[in-house]
Structure 1
Amino acid sequence: MSQSRYPVVMLVDDNEIDNFVNKKLIETEKFGDTVLVHTSAVSALDDLKKRASEPGQLPDLIFLDIMMPNVDGFGFLEAFDGLPEPVKTRAKVVMLSTSESFKDLNRANQNRYVYKFLNKPLNKAVLDAIRI
């Protein structure tokens, strides 16, 4: 039984299989009521801009993959900084990576929008650690 959950969760990962598995996990564990799925940073940023005027539609938590083509997770964070204030205030970003690079970890931890940096894959223990 869940102690808390997030009304809206966003997944940003170019791997559709990871998105499918993570969405099912989030739903099964009752971690989020609504799960928004994006396979690119650009589509996620466009969606956030559209939702900015409706705070109830904004994600409370964004699971963001670091390694994506075109715009990677760090590029997403740079663009995220330019989004309207309600978006930046509401959404906590959790960066996900298969990389154990100290450089990536350090860079993520220095970003004010990154709530946590976690290794893939998502699992119940990871979700439990994020619950507030």
Structure 2
Amino acid sequence: MKLKEIMLVDDNSIDNYVSKIVTEKENIAETITVKSSAIEALEYLKTKADNFPELIFLDIKMPIMDGFGFLLEFSKFTVDKKANCAIVMLSSSISNEDMEAASNDQHVIDYLSKPLNKDKLTKVLDILIQKK
């Protein structure tokens, strides 16, 4: 399964670097877009004329707007834009409240702890395949 686009959203450049290397090594996407804030990611999505990335890895703890703020704004996009877009929360937070809030969002398909690795990526791809 090869995706057209994956987007990584994290304010930590090292985490983005690790996630990008893992996804590139597995060769699962034509394009890997990296954004360093939720606001930057939303601005990018607003400029997309075609479909959104099929997969977004989203950090929770970010300054100005956190991952849940992103999810709230993401929910306001049209259904057709969001239709084939799945979100995975990729966080260092082990808070039960964060995990529960993420699981209650219809676009979030999984909650993973950082860092992203091959096994976690394989798990996410399996979930995407089951969704199709």
Q: TM-score, normalised by structure 1?
A: 0.91
**In the alignment, is the contact (CA less than 8 A) between 2:50 and 2:81 conserved in 1?**
no
Residue-pair matches, total: 126
Native 8 Å contact 1:27 1:33 kept in 2: no
Preserved contact between residue 53 and residue 85 of structure 2 (Cα < 8 Å):
yes
- Supply the AA of the counterpart residue of 2:24: E
Once residues 87 and 39 of structure 1 are traced to their aligned partners in structure 2, the CA distance between those partners, rounded to angstroms, is 22
Structure 2: state its 5+ residue gaps.
Answer: none
Aligned residue among 33, 38, 57 for 1:41: 38
| Percent identity of paired positions between Structure 1 and Structure 2 | 44
| Match for residue 108 of structure 1 among 77, 80, 102 | 102
Counterpart of 2:115 in structure 1 is 121
Pick aligned residue for 2:21 from 17, 24, 32? 24
Structure 1: 5+ residue runs without aligned partners? Answer: none
C-alpha separation in 2, matches of 1:23 and 1:97: 15
In the TM superposition, 1:1-132 aligns within 5 A as 4-51=1-48, 53-55=49-51, 58-131=52-125, 132=129
Name the SS of the counterpart of 1:111 in structure 2: coil
Tell me the secondary structure at the aligned position of residue 90 of structure 1. coil
Q: Deviations over 1:66-118 (max 9, x none)?
A: 01000000000000011122332121000011111111100100111111111
> Would you say the 8 A contact 2:6–2:56 is kept in 1?
yes
Q: Is the 8 A contact 2:4 2:31 kept in 1?
A: yes
Superposed CA RMSD in Å reads: 1.0
SS at match of 1:115: strand
After TM superposition, the runs of 4+ consecutive aligned structure 1 residues lying more than 4 A away are none
Aligned counterparts of 1:117 and 1:87: Cα–Cα separation in 2: 22
